[in-house]
Amino acid sequence: MTAQTRSEIAHLLERHGLAPIHRLGQHFLADANITRKIVALADVTSGSRVVEVGAGTGTLTRALAAAGASVVAYEIDRGLQPVLGEVTEGLDVELRFEDVSKVDFSKALPGDSWSLIANLPYNVGTPVVMDALRNAPAIDRFIVMMQREVAVRLAATVGSPDYGLPSVIAGIYSEASVAFTVPPQVFYPPPRVESAVAVLLRKPTPEHAERAVELARAGFGQRRKMLRRSLMSIVDDPVQLLEEAGFDPTKRAEDLSPDDYLRLAAL
């Protein structure tokens, strides 16, 4: 089943009286090679369960279902309902026209062993991944296309200028990496920035994970300050805590790894 080309997407939308909506971050994937690479990376087979966020015109939805996956596809734009109904007809696809930022995946996805595979709208990419990592243990793999700088941030480690709170959360809950970058011209319409496909493989949730996230959020919320200052809002004696954990109290948030934050949380 071939992926949609730019001209096919344009004609499909025109036939239904539609156009990409900028405020929804709609940049529809229009490249067969990138679609194949994502499906191959996802390694879906018959029986695989996939949740897709931002189904758009359905090119990735259709490719995943054609590879054997059972797909639950979310799309906020109800105007795309006739388009998606047309391109996924006869396939194992459940379309859900909802704002995914308000969806509780822990209740919306039955069972376990789900993969989140998506060309994520730029305006919701980070919050969707962060929330699902923390609150939806049924999703054990994430293969998501997003802004390149966001994907790099998720996979960044201590010492990288891209390292921040998303890096800590991704590192606590998963093994994160960037699989490949994607040029703007493979989308319709093309965005102004490069994209990348990030892969996050869930790890067993560590004890005190959420307390570690809370500590990291406080630290990065005032990242120019030393941790002995930035942690004062949530820790009675930050200096004692840091010294007990073996850290110099003058360190800043970006100096601690996800494991370091877990160590602090355990104390």
Q: What is the pLDDT of residue 200?
A: 98
The average pLDDT across 21-46 equals 93
pLDDT in tens, 121-155: 887 888 999 999 999 999 999 999 999 999 999 99
The average pLDDT across 239-260 equals 95
Q: How far is residue 77 from each of residues 3, 4, 132, measured CA to CA in Å?
A: 21, 19, 21
- Using the predicted structure, report yes or no on whether residue 2 has a pLDDT greater than 80: no
**Which stretch of 13-27, 137-151, 164-178 has the lowest confidence by average pLDDT?**
13-27
- Using the predicted structure, report yes or no on whether residue 1 has a pLDDT greater than 80: no
Q: CA triplet 214, 216, 221: central angle to 5 degrees?
A: 95
pLDDT in tens, 213-241: 999 999 999 878 999 999 999 999 999 99
- Using the predicted structure, report yes or no on whether residue 113 has a pLDDT greater than 80: yes
Q: How confident is the model at residue 38 (pLDDT cuts 50, 70, 90)?
A: very high
Residue 136 CB: number of other CB atoms within 10 A? 20
Q: What is the pLDDT of residue 224?
A: 85
DSSP 267: -
Q: What is the pLDDT of residue 223?
A: 79
The number of residues making up the chain comes to 267
| Residues in a beta bridge with 200 | 142, 176
Q: How confident is the model at residue 51 (pLDDT cuts 50, 70, 90)?
A: very high
* pTM value > 0.85: yes
- Please report which helix (H) or strand (E) contains residue 249, including its range: none
Q: What is the pLDDT of residue 162?
A: 96
